[in-house]
A and B are shown apart, each in its own frame.
Chain A
Amino acid sequence: MSSHQFPPPAPTTRREFLRLSTCGAGLLAFGRFAPTFLVNSARAAAPAPEKDRSILVLVQLAGGNDGLNTLVPFEDPDYYRLRPTIGIPADRVLRISDTLGFHPSCGALQGLFRDGRLAVVENVGYPNPNRSHFRSMEIWETASGSSDFVQTGWVGRYLDSACGGIPTDSHDPLAVHANTPNGEPPTLVGARQHPTFGLAAAGTRRGGSEESRRILERDSPEGHTDDNVGFLRQTLMDTLVTEVRVQKLLDGYRPNGAYPSNPFAASLRSVAGLIAGGLPTRVYFVTLGGFDTHVDQAPTQARLLTVLSEGLAAFQGDLRAKGLDGQVLTMTFSEFGRRPGENESKGTDHGTAAPLFVLGSRVKGGLLGSAPRLNLPRNQDLSFSTDFRSVYGTVLDRWLGCRSKTVLGADFPSLPFV
């Protein structure tokens, strides 16, 4: 930790700011709705995608997905003791090993697992877990220790580090996101400003006319300040330029195979369209929310896992048909798993560790990590066995090609999924 500052310092000069805000590593994040800017005058033709890129797609399962009913230890009597009404019967589980099986809604994921393209990391968490949605999500997004408070997201720091010394004049979106409930996900916030781009909710028209656009589109030195006004000026500038290009790519996109008709799948379809369009974006962020199942968990989780499983399978199939699957690694995460013992409302309360999925044709499929011990008293939580920063570290070192210690501040044991 002595050779570099952690987190890295903010840019201090306009020149440095410009260099950083137009560097080569980009980032896109999607929320729940399909984009619908109306852009009529896009002209730029999409270049062919680079052949050897590595792209990360983060899928956030917001609300705290119940891990024990996602990856079911159907041979463990303690599982059924802790979950007398919401436990999934062994004969309905989709088996992936002698002792573990997926939730019945995860048929498509079971197929990807059998094909060796899906890795399941068991029991992922962190020491001294926090059961607040917001604090725990913050810990996952900033990759901090449980008692540390960090202002930047782990992907933001990756961009800080990856962006050093890559000067280009591109106006391509470096950080793009859409309709995530609170705007830009904190995961993507760096010490330096990386321009973000969000896709509009269904029904939005791109505001303004060409005349207004020409007056607003300006790039003067005094605009580049690091206060809120500078942030607004820079965001508007990047937006005006990017809108045209992104919409052109999405309008012209023809996926291979059908995506389910739900907003999550539509977001993945847009990600595929932008990847296929050759945007120089390295990280995409898509949210699927609603996992906070305190009451009557079974129907809600079944619906959400169907959306997740079928959406990811359609995405993977589309990429594969286009020969882009070798460039993309998709990873899920959630702020916490849920309490092993069900509550009296046929639901589960906030808990700790849970499994996560890593998907891609260059992923080494299979089960990783070790299963949680379930011989617990009723109200006790799981003890994690794999630190989530091991997963991040592996992705950084072996997929994104970035020294993980510069982003995570320490070395964590890597996992053999890539």
Chain B
Amino acid sequence: MPKYHINVKITPSRFLPPGKYLLIDREEGCLGCKYCVKKLCPYDVYNKRKFDSIQLRDTIDYYCRNCLYCVEACPGGTISLVVNPAYREIGDSYWKPEIITKIWRQAETGMIPVSGAGYRGPFVGSGFDNMWTDMSEIVRPTRDGIHGREYISTDIEIGRKLSYLVFDAQGKLTSSTPPLIEIPIPMLFCLPEWGNWGRSVLFSIAKAARTLNTLFIIPFAQFTKDFYPYIDNLGISVESLEEISALPKDVKLIEIPYSLSQNLQAIKTSYPQTIVMIKIPLSPEAKQRSLTLTKNNAEVLHFYADDHGLEFAEKPRFIKDIIKDIHLSLVDEGIRDEVTILASGGIAMAEHVAKTIICGADGAILDQLLMVALECRLCKDCMQGIACPIDIENIEPDWGAQRLINLMNAWRDQLLEVLGAMGMRDVRRLRGEMGRAIFYEDVLNEAFTSIKKR
């Protein structure tokens, strides 16, 4: 089988992203030196800066790299550096400006974010930030990541698997195997719950899904005739039984809300070769529902959290902890392998996909991330009837598709780095590998048992 490869093409943003640092030039006290430090900037930003007439700003914030040379070398001390307040406005408390600007860079270049100097963030955080992944050395085999010669597979299978097969006396298979889709990356696409995206955005996602050979879960209301050429890479999300009856027969995957789950058998009878995915909100009932549904022949379960990865409850737990819970309870019943679990909500970085899979999901579904890749800043002005500042409705679908393709390449490469470090050749092996993860609370207690607390 040929090695899976994603073709990347540099696809710059339409709007120059706000940079992190702004230079303030006081002017008063300028000594008029012959060799002004501005001419000696190692990154030549004083020549590159321009007036951005659309965003009404000085683009020096995009180019400045915070080396502080001009600040410290100017004898008059007229230059100061500050964090750009427009930068801080992007995103929110979970989708931080750093995360969003990194997504933009990956969507533009398709490359893994690499930087100098060690990790500079907090020791731990909440959510995905209180676990680390493992690596292998000496006593365990390793793989050489994206630069290696060994192929690391990122394929996953979506669908129901039988617990056992039945053969007749002649050795012929008598079990009827349910439909299964194999996708080359453990990530699917869908739309966020909010926003008016417009058809160009939908086409961008559909095109990207086709090129990457993954699935885009499109709402029934948006599935018009011109999406039909993409049918092999679409899943259709319905709200009612009427909508189901209007679906084309060759649709690969249908997503139904939890409220329609009792109609599963009826739907399967009408669409035997179609995979049915049940969309369940993450809540305290999710675990019990997963058990019941799996025992009743459910094929794929899509658990979703809110945009910050939190469940819908009074005291919300985080997505990875609930997935862990669900995964382990299915394992205890001995039925985990029968069903595919996909998770969405709060997946903002490539490491979140890896960690979600470690906690027991088969793969992740990306929603808000896709919009960010298309330059959305999560300002949510569209929800207030104000025009979108980045005019997302008018993007070119080919441009949009390539942004998503680039991003998926960067994320897949990061996944390969994590798998390679762990010595794994297959992402399916990563599912539920909690023994190879390092959970902060556990390690902290183990390491600091003898230290008194205050």
**Are A and B associated in one complex?**
no
